[in-house]
């Protein structure tokens, strides 16, 4: 199976989404197909042994649309320009058409004399002919509506264009019939040419405004792409060469002067500086960098002169990965969007039936064909489900883009939607609540061992470990000559067993000692005291006897407590999971303001703890940064990874925080709440609009002595509904916490 995304041209409303999805799913071998109307992208999962792109493209073409492989091609500018031209040409003919058809009535009502040629009573043929020659060019200019609309209608999958095509062509054909009656039978006849012309012009105006608004919702990706520098100064041999960024290779040494952008990801090998990483992390304060520090492409070198070695180039860079994640999120659909898509798929054929039935009913009541025609056209035009189709995907696009600006990468519409309902957040301790950079605070030797002996033994067995606590011991032992370890076994969640110079070494927690029958009764007081100070004590035994204790402390992040207070203010339950002993966990939890915690939890059991919470009907988010957090991140309703964590944790998460600051969890949740609120408002007004608009178009007000809805007003209202949804969505761009 393979999953690919394609650009789909020709979609005009939410009904088109359903039509394209249905067409793609009919292809043998296609397992899954989803379309995002706002981004005009189709994502398909299919078996390459059974089908290929050409089969999918051909099926979609038969449905009246065009699928292309170039997903990165941005046709929005060209499409907007084409619509603008059509609008201008339509207006050129529409204004005189409107004046010819409507001005006489206005002048007569005001008792103002009018030019003789405008008087349709005196010159009915001239009047009819003028309307005909002014309307026909508008029909030709808007021919796309008819080509797509009737093609979709006859294929059994009507869409917005079908409603417009049926409504305006009916008005135009009725006008032609009226001309025949006027010219041949000399009958006075009401023409509907102006309805056809004005409706098409107003629809085009609405599409133009819609395209302008949609472009604003997709600015996040363009802004991210625009961050990349075009060239960089690369050291080659003994010279410095200005090189296009796409030609930089891994291992190249790049020179960056103050004020310049970092071209790709890398490691500083010479110099020191401060770098503005706000475009990646959302953090405005520049970060100090020295030799060995990581630098990220597209960030800005503020004041130092540095050389760095490229470690990630092209699609592997941090910015490229961010762009990929945001694009994938914008293509995805939230569950809330499926309801609108399903309704829209059935909505258009139902509207056509309503229009036919209501117009026939009115004709049977008052025998007035023009009146029935008014009803028919008004119902078709006002019911176009554009607003429904735009309500959700545009909000997801803006929200994911806004999240990226704030250092919060949301991987899918589903995780964005789920996040606003979270009522329990579980934090890992090390590297999440704490800095993740522990230091050795106490070395307590027993027996014949000195502090240096103890440190050398501990560092010797820890040099093969990847645990953060082991790193602290190795850092503390820098400069000491370490022993060669003959055997090394990592006992998950407990510690290390090693063989060193024919000595059996155990280094770890109390459980490790108890499991191996090592007496620790005489050091229990030391362990308790260290744990109460939020230190993690590790016991070293040699040949079954305790040789000493090494304590390591990991300081809590400055922002952790305030972040947890903010989350509590939302009514969210907070928990902490850690492999540390109960006393150390209790001390850290107290400092962070957390009442509930689970200590001595093995990495493999973290996911089980998440599942227990979910069985208690708690919608749970897990926040972590390490490899051992990956199962829990995947098991939670929403997994949130700290961006400077491991690749495995980031891959397992639904949301990635680019800054090492837990306040970003609050930002993500508030963004989700705001986005879902906007989506619900959009859907509510779109449904209310159609619920109220259709009965009015059917003549419900006229029954009670009110006015009859003019088809031209219906067209204006339909266009306004789409623009209003997009305008409401764009309020998300002002989001801040």
Which range has the worst mean pLDDT, 148-157, 436-445, 552-561?
Answer: 148-157
Write down the pLDDT at residue 15: 75
- The answer, yes or no, to whether residue 254 has pLDDT greater than 50, is yes
Least confident of 375-384, 439-448, 691-700: 375-384
> Is pLDDT larger for residue 582 or for residue 222?
582
The answer to whether 408 and 657 have CB atoms below 8 angstroms apart is yes
For residues 237-260, give the mean pLDDT.
Answer: 90
From residue 489, give the alpha-carbon distance in Å to each of 292, 453, 485, 545. 30, 21, 11, 19
Q: How many CB atoms lie within 10 A of CB 222?
A: 12
pLDDT of residue 227: 75
Question: Band of the pLDDT at 362, cuts 50, 70, 90?
Answer: very high
* Record: fold of 400-434+556-665: Rossmann fold (3.40.50)
Percentage with pLDDT > 90 across the chain: 26
Contacts of 727 (CB under 8 A, 6+ apart): 213
Highest mean pLDDT among 188-197, 276-285, 402-411, 417-426: 417-426
**Residue 361 banded pLDDT, cuts 50, 70, 90:** very high
What's the pLDDT score for residue 567? Answer: 95
For residue 266, pLDDT over 90 is answered with: yes
Which residue from 129, 164, 128, 186 is spatially nearest to 13, judged by alpha carbons?
A: 164
Mean pLDDT, residues 369-376 taken together = 86
The CATH number of domain 2-60 is 3.40.50.920: no
Q: How far is CA 406 from the centre of its chain?
A: 13
Q: Is residue 47 annotated as a catalytic residue, yes or no?
A: no
Q: What would the mean pLDDT of 636-651 be, rounded to a whole number?
A: 74
Nearest alpha carbon to residue 642 among 629, 627, 623: 623
Q: Long-range pairs for 590-598 at CB < 8 Å and ≥24 separation?
A: 591/534, 591/556, 591/561, 592/433, 592/556, 592/560, 592/561, 592/564, 593/561, 593/564, 593/565, 593/568, 594/427, 594/433, 594/564
Q: If we measure between CA atoms, which residue out of 312, 416, 470, 331 comes closest to residue 37? A: 331
More confident residue, 340 or 609: 609
Kindly state the average pLDDT of the residues 59-70.
84
pLDDT tens column, 287-323 = 889 999 889 888 899 888 999 999 998 878 877 777 7
Q: What is the DSSP letter of 572?
A: -
**Mean of the per-residue pLDDT values of the chain:** 84
Band of the pLDDT at 649, cuts 50, 70, 90?
Answer: low
Q: Which among 116-130, 229-243, 320-334, 375-389 has the top mean pLDDT?
A: 229-243
* Domain range summary for the chain, segments of one domain joined by +: 2-60, 249-312, 400-434+556-665, 439-553
Q: Taking residues 103-121, report their average pLDDT.
A: 67
Q: What is the pLDDT of residue 208?
A: 82
Average of per-residue pLDDT across 45-64: 89
Tell me, letter by letter, the H, E, C secondary structure of 293-345.
Answer: CEECCCCEECCCCEEEEEEECHHHCHHHHHHHHHHHHHHCCCHHHHHHHHHHH
Judged against a pLDDT cut of 50, whether residue 72 lies above it is answered with no
CATH architecture entry for 249-312? Distorted Sandwich (2.70)
Q: Per-residue pLDDT averaged across 366-390, rounded?
A: 80
**Could you say which of 161, 265, 428, 554 is catalytic?**
428
> Average pLDDT for residues 240-247, to the nearest whole number?
89
Beta strand pairing call for 485-491 and 265-270: unpaired
Of 7-11, 66-70, 227-231, 382-386, where does mean pLDDT reach its minimum?
Answer: 382-386
In sequence order, the 6+-apart residues with CB closer than 8 A to the CB of 307 are 235, 253, 254, 255, 256, 268, 269, 270, 271
Instruction: Find the mean pLDDT for residues 688-712.
Output: 84
Q: What is the pLDDT of residue 340?
A: 66
Q: What is the per-residue pLDDT for 175?
A: 85
Q: Are 156 and 26 in contact (CB under 8 A)?
A: no
The domain 439-553: what is its CATH number? 3.40.1110.10
What pLDDT score was predicted for residue 597? 92
Across the range 221-232, mean pLDDT stands at: 76
Q: Which of 342-356, 519-533, 569-583 has the lowest mean pLDDT?
A: 342-356
Q: Indicate whether 385 pLDDT > 90.
A: no
* Number of Cβ within a 10 Å radius of residue 423: 15
Dihedral angle at the C-alpha atoms of 498, 503, 509, 514, nearest 10 degrees? 110
Residue 223 above 80 pLDDT? no
Mean pLDDT of all residues in 640-656:
72
- What is the arithmetic mean of pLDDT over 658-683? 91
d(CA 196, CA 194): 5
Instruction: Give the C-alpha separation, 621 to 607, whole Å.
Output: 12
Using the predicted structure, report yes or no on whether residue 419 has a pLDDT greater than 90. Answer: yes
Mean pLDDT over residues 392-418, rounded? 84
Query: What distances in angstroms separate CA 377 from CA 354, 690, 698, one per listed residue?
Result: 11, 15, 10
Mean pLDDT of all residues in 32-50: 85
């Amino acid at each position: 199976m393979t999953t690919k995304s394609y650009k789909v041209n020709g979609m005009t409303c939410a009904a088109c989404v359903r039509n394209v999805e249905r067409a793609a799913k009919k292809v043998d071998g296609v397992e899954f197909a989803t379309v995002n109307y706002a981004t005009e992208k189709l994502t398909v999962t299919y078996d390459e042994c059974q089908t290929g792109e050409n089969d999918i493209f051909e099926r979609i073409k038969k449905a009246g649309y065009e699928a292309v492989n170039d997903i990165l091609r941005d046709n929005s500018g060209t499409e907007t320009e084409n619509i603008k031209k059509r609008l201008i040409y339509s207006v050129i003919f529409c204004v005189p058409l409107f004046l010819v058809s409507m001005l006489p009535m206005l002048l007569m009502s005001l008792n103002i004399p009018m030019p003789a040629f405008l008087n349709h009573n005196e010159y009915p043929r001239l009047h009819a002919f003028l309307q005909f020659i002014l309307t026909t060019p508008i029909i030709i200019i808007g021919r796309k509506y008819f080509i797509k609309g009737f093609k979709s209608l006859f294929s059994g999958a009507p869409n917005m264009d079908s409603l417009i095509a049926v409504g305006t062509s009916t008005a135009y054909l009725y006008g032609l019939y009226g001309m025949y009656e006027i010219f041949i039978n000399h009958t006075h006849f009401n023409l509907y040419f102006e309805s056809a012309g004005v409706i098409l012009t107003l629809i085009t105006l609405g599409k133009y405004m819609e395209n302008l608004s949609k472009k604003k919702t997709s600015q996040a990706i363009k802004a991210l792409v625009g961050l990349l520098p075009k060239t960089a100064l690369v050291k080659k041999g003994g010279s410095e060469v200005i090189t296009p960024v796409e030609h930089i290779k891994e291992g190249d040494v790049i020179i960056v002067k103050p004020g310049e952008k970092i071209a790709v990801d890398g490691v500083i090998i010479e110099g020191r500086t401060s770098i503005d990483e706000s475009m990646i992390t959302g953090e405005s304060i520049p970060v100090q960098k020295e030799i060995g520090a990581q630098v990220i492409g597209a960030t800005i070198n503020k004041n130092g002169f540095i050389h760095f070695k490229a470690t990630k180039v092209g699609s592997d860079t941090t910015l490229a990965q961010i762009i990929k994640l945001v694009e994938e999120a914008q293509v995805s659909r939230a569950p809330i969007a499926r309801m609108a898509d399903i309704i829209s798929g059935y909505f258009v054929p139902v509207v056509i039936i309503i229009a036919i039935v209501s117009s026939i009913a009115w004709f049977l009541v008052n025998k007035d064909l023009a009146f029935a025609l008014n009803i028919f056209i008004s119902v078709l035009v006002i019911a176009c489900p554009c607003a429904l189709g735009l309500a959700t995907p545009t909000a997801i696009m803006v929200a994911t883009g806004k999240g990226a600006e704030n250092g919060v990468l949301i991987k899918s519409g589903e995780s964005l939607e789920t996040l606003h309902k979270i009522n329990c957040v579980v934090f890992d301790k090390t590297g999440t609540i704490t800095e993740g950079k522990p230091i050795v605070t106490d070395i307590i030797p027993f027996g014949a061992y000195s502090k240096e002996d103890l440190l050398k033994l501990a560092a010797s067995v820890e040099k093969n470990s990847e645990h953060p606590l082991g790193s602290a011991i190795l850092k503390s032992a820098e400069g000491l000559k370490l022993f060669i370890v003959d055997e090394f076994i990592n006992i998950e969640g407990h510690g290390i067993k090693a063989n060193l110079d024919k000595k059996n070494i155990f280094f770890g927690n109390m459980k490790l000692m108890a499991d191996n029958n090592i007496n620790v009764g005489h050091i229990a007081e030391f362990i308790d005291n260290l744990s109460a100070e939020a230190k993690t004590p590790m016991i070293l035994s040699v040949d079954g006897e305790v040789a000493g204790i090494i304590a390591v402390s990991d300081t809590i992040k400055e922002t952790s407590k305030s972040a947890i207070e903010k989350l509590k203010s939302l009514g969210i339950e907070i928990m902490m999971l850690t492999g540390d002993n109960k006393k150390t966990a209790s001390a850290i939890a107290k400092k962070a303001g957390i009442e509930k915690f689970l200590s001595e939890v093995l990495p493999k059991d973290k996911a089980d703890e998440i599942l227990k919470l979910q069985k208690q009907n708690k919608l749970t988010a897990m926040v972590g940064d390490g490899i051992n957090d990956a199962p829990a991140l995947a098991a939670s309703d929403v997994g949130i990874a700290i961006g400077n964590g491991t690749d495995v944790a980031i891959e397992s998460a639904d949301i990635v925080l680019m800054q090492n600051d837990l306040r970003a969890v609050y930002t993500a949740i508030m963004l989700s709440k705001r986005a879902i609120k906007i989506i619900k408002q959009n859907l509510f007004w779109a449904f209310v609009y159609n619920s109220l608009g259709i009965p009015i178009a059917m003549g419900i007000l006229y029954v009670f002595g009110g006015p009859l809805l003019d088809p031209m007003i219906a067209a204006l209202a339909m266009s306004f509904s789409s623009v209003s949804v997009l305008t409401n969505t764009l309020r998300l761009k002002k989001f801040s916490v």
